[in-house]
Amino acid sequence: MIAAKANRAPHPPLSKHLPRKAAAPRGKAALRGEVQNGIMTDGGNGVRKMEDKNRNNIRNVSRMLRKNMTRQERRLWYDFLKKLSIPVYRQKPLGNYVVDFYIARVRLVIELDGSQHYHPKGRMMDEKREAYLAETGNLTARYSNYDVDTNFEGVCLDLIRIIRERGMGDDWQPFGE
């Protein structure tokens, strides 16, 4: 059987059998990114494809970060956030960023900062991220890894206070009734 396949003539190039590529749309339709003749237009600049690749890359990064949480992230997650009576997401993609923890109901981002966040470049990146998150209506609560290690109860109480202020109310029970 293997010898029979080796004696066959090679297939002609596929390009002879493929239909011709549709002409790129022009005008307002191309700028808007519409479906024309079954083809998603992107204005000729490949933005849609890049957005899809970027979105998939961010998802992969968030999955990897969930599997490789820092010691402080694991402590905050397993000893506090996971037990809250409202959903909390770990390593949640928001726009082009992955945040450590996110509580959608109150639009709260929780970030734990290691030493890299205290260098000028790290601070600049954090400011840019916080500006984007604030534009989308989110509040960012930042705690250092040192805070989680030395004042865990204080971090937890501060988060409960913020969650109540952001809309859950004073009668909200963090761990149910």
Residue-wise pLDDT for 118-150, tens only, equals 677 778 888 888 999 999 999 999 999 999 999
Q: Are residues 34 and 82 in the same domain?
A: no
pTM, 2 dp = 0.66
Other Cβ atoms less than 10 A from the Cβ of 110: the count is 24
Which CATH number covers residue 148?
Answer: 3.40.960.10
CA dist., res. 150 & res. 134, Å (int): 29
User: What's the structural domain count of the chain?
Assistant: 2
CA dist., res. 129 & res. 134, Å (int): 9
160 HSE (CA, 13 A, CB side) = 17
Give the residue, 145 or 116, on which the prediction is more confident: 145
